[in-house]
Structure 1
Amino acid sequence: MCGRYALTATPKEISEFFDHLDIDDFPARYNIAPTQPILVVAASEKTRPGSNLPERRAFLARWGFIPGWVKDPKDFPLLINARSETAIGKASFRAAMRHRRILIPATGFYEWRRPPKETGVRPQAYWVRPKKGGVIAFAGLMETWSSADGSEVDTAAIMTTAANATIRHIHDRMPVVIQPEDFERWLDCKTQEPRHVEGLMRPAQEDFFEALPVSDLVNKVSNMGPELQKPVAVAVPEEKPPKDRKPDSSQMSLF
């Protein structure tokens, strides 16, 4: 899954990455968490000057997808991720897969390696970033949810897929990354049906990301500075003998 990520690039860098996207100024965000507003990119109804390609628009959406048919979000689970293997047929995401595919700018994400509880080893956080740096785009879905009083809120989810070998030792899932050459195809919900973009929902290449162990500062949403991404040494747990272990009588003793 993807439960925390970061977007620390400048607005200019993000604009250029999405082919001169018109976006407002905003600060670097080192610890983006569910239910917070996130920057998303979608195809516009307008076409680019001198081209049949649609313009792209950037706006904020709540990270936590709410299907249009939900009456009360309080009675509905928080959907921050959508599994790429099942989103096409799942009731919660079916309409968005067909009509509202988006891109979610990021500069990396956080994941936790969680050893079995019986080992007594604490979860280890990792900052996962592209080796070459820069901005990347997660595949996403959005839905505009309308309440009974007529108010509306744009909501979004990040799509995930099976982890590649770089991430698999940490977690079995990872965000789907859409490459720039595939932006048009992913965002084109008019001519590109879900079955036409299935091939884009795949793990990133093995050498695309690097995973750096970081401190548990990222666990708290209130921590929002660059220190969250500072690498740390991973402590090796000390092996303890089983409590019921008996002395080996075959060994000689000096006592």
Structure 2
Amino acid sequence: MCGRYAASRSPEDLVEEFEVDAWAGAGAGGGTGDGAGTGDAVPPSWNVAPTDPVRVVLERVVEERAERQLRTVRWGLVPSWARDASGAARLINARLETVAEKPAFRKAFRSRRCLVPADGYYEWYAQEDGGKQPFFIRRRDGRSLAMAGLYELWRAPGEGSPWLWTATVITTAAVDELGRLHDRMPMLVERDRWAQWLDPEGGDAEELRGLLVPAAPGLLEAYPVSKAVGNVRNNGPHLVEPVPAAEEAADAAPTLF
């Protein structure tokens, strides 16, 4: 699964990198109408956790044309039909194998797909002594990971209730060396497929699944980091710094790439 990640880039940098047309408002906290506004106050985070506000890239039809937007949503999808938002933390990930059929995700998979930009994400390797060593996984070239995601809009009963925007990250079986850390990994969307993936008109399930790929060999690097990342109250760029070799136990982690 993908349960923690880092997202430290500024919205201005994301607008440029993801060729965004409009930086929309803070949908994670609600608002009137569809949640649009003029920016948000999401700080850089090196320890993004479930239910945190996060930025996503999506497309909405505005005045009869598709507009690529950068929006703030809450991590943990709340289906439109949910009675309340309490189950969001359980839906931070959607499995690629079942995303087109599961009631919580199938409507969003058809027409509300997004990209979830990340500096990288964390996985925990189970050690022989029962402990767990966190690893940070990122692109070697320093660009953002474009994780495949879905977003949804939910509104509590009652006139004038604000819209809540939420999202989930799509995962698949981990490949190659990553499978030694964890059996699941986020699906990625390559740049030349962003437009198709974000298109709200969509396509059939198999065509959409075909747009998603595991990371190409050699694209990612993984290295051990401080166990401080395990506490959601800890934050800062020090969390993604490699752990000095002298601090690693001989059996603390596998030899990776």
Please report the TM-score for the alignment, with normalisation by the length of structure 2.
0.83
Letter matched to residue 110 of structure 2: R
Q: 1:77 to 1:225 in 2, by over 3 A?
A: closer
Between the aligned residues of both structures, percent identity stands at 39
CA offset at residue 145 of structure 1?
A: 1.2
Q: 1:193 to 1:46 in 2, by over 3 A?
A: farther
Per-residue Cα deviation, 1:54-78 (whole angstroms, up to 9, x for no partner): 2201111110111112113336762
Match of 1:93 in 2: 105
Q: Which runs of 5+ in 2 are unaligned?
A: 24-38, 253-257
Work out the CA distance in 2 between the residues paired with 1:183 and 1:208. Answer: 18
Letter matched to residue 122 of structure 1: G
Contact 2:133 2:227 in 1 (8 A): yes
How many equivalent residue pairs?
A: 231
The answer as to 2:146 corresponding to 1:137 is: yes
Match of 2:27 in 1: none
Work out the CA distance in 1 between the residues paired with 2:194 and 2:173. Answer: 21
Per-residue Cα deviation, 1:193-232 (whole angstroms, up to 9, x for no partner): 3322111233111211100100111111111111101111
Q: Which runs of 5+ in 1 are unaligned?
A: 239-255
Letter matched to residue 64 of structure 1: G
Residue of 24, 43, 47 corresponding to 1:31: 47
Work out the CA distance in 2 between the residues paired with 1:76 and 1:133. Answer: 31
Contact 1:164 1:206 in 2 (8 A): no
Range moving further from structure 2, 141-150 or 167-176: 141-150
Map 1:103-122 to 2 at 5 A. Answer: 103-115=115-127, 119-122=128-131
Match of 1:242 in 2: none
Work out the CA distance in 1 between the residues paired with 2:219 and 2:209. Answer: 20
Range moving further from structure 2, 180-189 or 7-16: 7-16
Match of 2:57 in 1: 41
Match of 2:218 in 1: 207
Q: 1:76 to 1:18 in 2, by over 3 A?
A: closer
Work out the CA distance in 2 between the residues paired with 1:173 and 1:191. Answer: 25
CA offset at residue 6 of structure 1?
A: 0.9
Range moving further from structure 2, 202-211 or 122-131: 202-211
Q: 1:191 to 1:237 in 2, by over 3 A?
A: closer
CA offset at residue 157 of structure 1?
A: 0.3
The answer as to 2:92 corresponding to 1:80 is: yes
Contact 2:173 2:183 in 1 (8 A): yes
Please report the TM-score for the alignment, with normalisation by the length of structure 1.
0.84
CA offset at residue 121 of structure 1?
A: 3.4
Q: Secondary structure at the match of 1:78?
A: helix
Match of 1:64 in 2: 76
Work out the CA distance in 2 between the residues paired with 1:69 and 1:83. Answer: 20
